[in-house]
Amino acid sequence: MWLYLLIFSILSQQSVFGQFGDFEQEYGYVTVRQGAHMFYWLFYTTADVPNYTDRPLIVWLQGGPGGSSTGIGNFEILGPMDLSLQERNYTWVKNFNVLFVDNPVGTGFSYVDELQFLTTTNDQIALDFVELMRGFYADNPMFEGVDLYIYGQSYGGKMAVDMALRMHEAEEAGTIRSNLRGIAMGNAWISPVDATLTWGPLLLAAGLVNQEGYEAIQASAREAERLFNEGQYVASTNQWAATQSVVFRHTTNVDFYNILTKMPTNLPDSRSDLELSRDMLIHNKPYSTPVDDRNEYNLQYLMNNLVKPALEIPDHVSWGSQSNAVFAYQNGDFMKPVTEGIEKLLNETNIIVTKYNGNLDLICDTPGQILWVDRLKWPGAEAYRNATRQPIWEDGKLEGYYKAHGNFRFFWINVAGHSVPRDNPAGSNAFLRDMTSFG
């Protein structure tokens, strides 16, 4: 890492450093609306192919809302370099062109001139994304017509559904020359009420709470459901956050992103229930601690002190400074499901719809995903339910299971929590190959 910094310093002084690291890349801003500016960062594939465009383009979306794809998705999960600025051996860039997008506007290096330009609904996020992709293709016309796949984690999976609908609509109208082939929803916030109502049963089955704890969690979760059913969406969001705190109390702070681990014993802290839940989702981890490993960067420092000058980000933009506001502006939409959008994709398009889940996740737990999947109304619903679940073998190791029919598939991934590509790269290869034929 220190050699990397020396090279960075020398090249910066010579004013010839136009990228971050040695990987071929492209980056830029697209003004998606008046006052709303979205940032993207593309890494070209390192696959041995005659042209970059011989491999698909994958868009990676982070959760939150307010989590940065260019920061978290890139350096913490699947980009070409990790937080030590060392090459990641399982990076998706080995097989694909990967486009990290800071969305919604206000996330990461994306920004709005005034907070009133932030989005408040999933559909608004989707419309901004279409404009972002129009700008991306204008800057990078060689990718027009190249197979496009959208992979979203957590809230990113929710965003991907409406993005696919709006992208398909634009393709049909001939207003964008993309070739969207599929979307993947990883441990996604698709039906929030279903997820919240299954926390208690999962924790009880795993032996992490007793009957008293289970009943307390369920009572709080059912109150979130009641508020949602009454149309009190912001109140339901607040009650969802309160339910998380009930879980903390009765499990001695189980890690919501991996039920086999614990959070620090000083949580919950002085933050409110909603603030704690917000910070968990934005930062893709249940808590923030100083980085003890002297060879690993703090992400906030890395993005604002090394990446920002290298990519010539405007001086007035601070990575992540508007993320809390992004989350707050989505409060009324946060608990709303996007299952109708998934049904529309299955009923009206040929777009591949993939759901994958790490079985150790709690916040977007697998039992909650299965509930909404089994309720989907589409022509292949019965055939999917009756399909045989197949094992996923990678190098002689059972990495999970999958079930598929038509253009819908579900992947259960073993030994993985909320961030499957990071927790189980081998298992991730299965759903990548299934959708793209590469991986």
Query: Active-site residue numbers?
Result: 154, 361, 418
Tokens, residue 236: 């339901």
In the numeric block, the tokens 């017509």 are attached to 145
